[in-house]
Chain A
Amino acid sequence: MTVLNSKIPAGPLAEKWSKHKAAIKVVSPANKRKLDIIVVGTGLAGGSAAASLAEMGYNVKAFCYQDSGRRAHSIAAQGGINAAKNYQNDNDSIYRLFYDTIKGGDYRAREANVYRLAEVSGDIIDQCVAQGVPFAREYGGTLSNRSFGGVLVSRTFYARGQTGQQLLLGCYASMNRMIGQGKIEMHERNEMLDLVIVDGKARGIITRNLVTGEIERHGAHAVVIATGGYGNVFFLSTNAMGCNGGAAWQAYKNGAFFGNPCFVQIHPTCIPVHGEQQSKLTLMSESLRNDGRVWTPKKKEDAIKLQKGEMGPNDIADEDRDFYLERRYPSYGNLVPRDVASRAAKERCDAGFGVNAEGKAVYLDFKYSIERLGQDVIEARYGNLFQMYEKITDVDPYKEPMQIYPAIHYSMGGTWVDYNLMTTVPGLYAIGEANFSDHGGNRLGASALMQGLADGYFVLPYTIGDYLADEIQTPRIDLNHPEFDKKEKAVNERLQRLYNVKGSKSVDSFHKRLGNIMWDYVGMARNEEGLKYAIAEIAKIKEDFYNDVRIPGDFDAMNIELEKAGRVADFLELGDLMARDALNRNESCGGHYREESVTEEGEAKRDDDNFTYVSAWEYKGENQEPVLHKEDLVFETVELTQRSYK
């Protein structure tokens, strides 16, 4: 018997959420004023939650490490946001969005959560429009839609290539209104470093003021973690430089189980790594695959010449080009889902057909669509992306194909939560990318924004009431409680320990070492031997880190190296857990590809008999083996089938 209770309501799928809402408790307006809620992170999930909760009357304290809440990395989402509005009359429906998401996630997500997500998706669009998000419009004034990978309907709403930015500015504006009214207390440049639990309930956090270096105590009746994903474990990723797993990791160390840590998404169309000097990877929108053809040379000798720079892509005749996605997946072609496209690129490069000096790039060629549609059409569709590509690489993609390569992009895994989005710690919630719940093994394009806003606007504001209704007698949290003393001391000791190593190597040097191991052994293709090797190597890096890291500057002042060191300390442990989870899950599923589990044709093979569960890991203490709990996934509605894009 598992200790996990997902609290999925009984009853038909389509009625679960409405029945649940009717059954859960509600807090009266007079009592809401007496309750405090901490929201860590101000991206789409955190921002929308903070604004909504404050509007309802709760006192919200919001935190972000950036200098402004509006800079959270949700801002970088380009493509769009899905919603089952059926505005295009193409037979879209809540069920269809639900089904696409479950299938796209390779049947490793909860039916009830995903259905709820699809159910509230339409409300999100209405809300965003009301806030003034300038979505693209038709001439008649109605909302415009575009189509996205892996689905057969047009349900993606967008604001040019800056949808994430516009949605974030929308919910940040709502936050600002509440900040102005004093209902949200905003703490910028402030990072959560520990969770305070009093009598088994989450009652506050310990943070570091990144400007002054002061360690601060903040109390509340409930704590919400909305700090996004942990892709920066890989050092190089499309995440922002400051994105970290710190808050989620502290939650884990305080008893919140961590769900499916090995599920990370690798995005197929990023600008390849060049040389050794890079710190960050840049994503090129998935939409480019609508009009670009992906290829590598057919002949090895051509590839070698390309790698040496002795010839260019335009010197290779059409018949000598291997359009490997069209060859392998004739029905979906260049539009196969992200995980499939990424693995295919890796396969070609591993076979020696990579096209840049490092041998780690493939071409995305617009020559054919320019011939077919004309340059103006391509420019109208992708002009800003092409310009960005040229700024970065100095290559004109109208004349020469783009070089692309997969990169770490999104974490499907995250803090385990029940149907109410509460973690295994009472009063501690996780929303958005920070939780594990809705995307299973692989996320569909334009669904991350949908999930973040669904959680923040329409799920958490209801479900948190069920918990807080029992807290109305609890007075303001006393910051002098011994648990706060204890946790503040622990944070200080943890930071002092890092600061006092006074070693010889920079924080980044360890982060890069970790990233290389993660990418090579816990990246796009994983196997038992490699994962075991990775676990051993990560332990070595961790040991070296605590013996040889150098953090210059003052301890009790702004100290960026100290901030980074704290994050890398978390990543070292998180990387270890990811490898353990990947080792346990001996099946290929979504973004997780085990070389031991493939079909005869070399495609990923899921193992539903043995792995139809969520792995939820429990922390057992420093250098102790974590314990795996399994939440069995019960599919009442959909039938599990092997994905095929042939």
Chain B
Amino acid sequence: MADKVIKELTIKVWRQKNAKTAGKFETYKINDISGGTSFLEMLDILNEQLINDGQEPIAFDHDCREGICGMCSLFINGRAHGPDDDITTCQLHMRKFKEGETITIEPWRAGAFPVIKDLIVDRTAFEKVLQAGGYISVNTGGVPDGNAIPISQDDAEEAMDAAACIGCGACVATCKNSSAMLFVSAKVSHLAKLPQGRVEASRRAKNMVAKMDELGFGNCTNTGACEVECPKGISIANIARLNREFLAAKIKD
């Protein structure tokens, strides 16, 4: 458990005052960071240092710090959520970095995710896609008993695999085309795998894809980078399912 202490690190970080002004990289030094410190705690420490020096701290999104809320969103040394697999930025720890290393931190880059400030981007494009159809149209009350519709364990598990998506945007950030197909396909697949969701599956696939296209995400070229960087390991098999759902829906038109 005794973690090494990193004596010095250079942090090269994107600073941008707001959406309208141009940003640039700034470089800071930080010392004596324990390997057991999380990456965001390292930024907390750097921010404390900046405040004490009379500078404005670095703005970054974060909330639960348990890898589930999907708020944290940093592009670290060329990778979404940094140099470790199956984790969010908040679960990345400093033991993954070397003494004296320069760490480059950038915001998610995508036309559909404009920078708000420093490392914070606007991901409401995802919400708009969800509003276009990421639901089952059922009102509160008047629903059948939970056991009334049997669902095979395999289907429930497969739906859960897709539903595990935390909507952090790492897929878009990683994709060389800034495509949102992994996110959208996870949402569509989750509901498409359940009998409750089949009822309006066609409508959902069409509306969500149309909204996704409208918002300026790129096209999927099946490189598979998204699923590798996805902190929840969402498979691109979901993208195949979305393609299928969409094509089947469109053929009916």
Contacts and interface: CB of A to CB of B under 8 A. Distances in A.
A130 interface: yes
Nearest to A275: B34
Given A176-B130, A176-B134, A278-B41, A75 B68 contact: yes
B93 A394 contact: yes
A452 to B, nearest CB: 14
B184 interface: no
Given A159-B160, A188-B124, A391 B84 contact: yes
Contacts of A283: 66
Contacts of B164: 160, 162, 165
A127 B143 contact: yes
A552 B57 CA distance: 8
Interface residues of A, number: 89
B202 to A, nearest CB: 16
A208 interface: no
A446 B152 CA distance: 25
A458 B149 CA distance: 22
Interface in B185-220: 190-191, 193-194, 196-197
B156 A136 contact: yes
A162 B144 contact: no
Given A71-B71, A141-B151, A241-B62, A561 B51 contact: yes
A138 B52 CA distance: 57
A107 B2 CA distance: 44
A621 interface: no
A403 B2 CA distance: 13
Contacts of A75: 64, 68-69
A435 interface: no
A552 B157 CA distance: 48
B130 A173 contact: yes
Contact of B190 (A132, A504, A558): A132
Contacts of A159: 160, 163
A130 B151 CA distance: 12
A403 B41 CA distance: 20
Contacts of A125: 146
A129 B144 CA distance: 9
Contacts of A142: 147, 150
A221 interface: no
Contact of B51 (A165, A179, A458, A550): A550
Q: How large is the interface on B (under 10, 10 to 19, 20 to 34, 35 or more residues)?
A: 35 or more
Contacts of B147: 87, 142-143
Interface string A388-407: 10011111000000010000
Given A132-B191, A279-B44, A309-B2, A73 B135 contact: no
Contact of B196 (A68, A130, A137): A130
B230 interface: no
Given A130-B143, A141-B151, A550-B51, A558 B63 contact: no
B36 A394 contact: yes
B146 A169 contact: no
B11 interface: no
B123 to A, nearest CB: 6
A140 B149 CA distance: 11
Interface stretch (A48-56, A317-325, A332-340, A625-633): A48-56
B109 to A, nearest CB: 17
A176 B137 CA distance: 10
Contacts of A138: 153
A508 interface: yes
Contact of B153 (A141, A176, A552): A141
Contacts of A461: 140
Contacts of B40: 279
B3 A129 contact: no
Interface string B37-58: 1101110110110111011110
A76 interface: yes
B196 A132 contact: yes
A135 B153 CA distance: 10
A557 B18 contact: yes
B194 A132 contact: yes
A494 to B, nearest CB: 21
A21 interface: no
B35 interface: yes
A393 B133 CA distance: 40
A560 interface: yes
Interface in A113-127: 123, 125-127
Contacts of B45: 277
Contacts of B156: 134-137
Contacts of B54: 550, 552
Contacts of B51: 506, 550, 552, 561
Contact of A356 (B1, B71, B139): B1
Contacts of A504: 52
A188 B146 CA distance: 32
B91 interface: yes
Interface stretch (B99-107, B114-122, B174-182, B237-245): B114-122
A508 B147 CA distance: 49
Given A127-B143, A394-B93, A550-B51, A282 B66 contact: yes
B82 to A, nearest CB: 12
A126 B134 CA distance: 19
A211 B159 CA distance: 35
B152 A76 contact: no
Given A130-B136, A130-B143, A240-B64, 10 more contacts: A67-B122, A68-B124, A71-B69, A128-B146, A131-B196, A132-B135, A188-B124, A461-B140, A552-B55, A553-B56
Top 5 nearest A-B pairs (CB, nearest first) are A141-B150, A173-B135, A130-B143, A280-B65, A134-B159
11 contacts: A51-B140, A75-B69, A134-B157, A141-B150, A165-B164, A166-B163, A176-B127, A275-B34, A309-B1, A392-B93, A457-B141
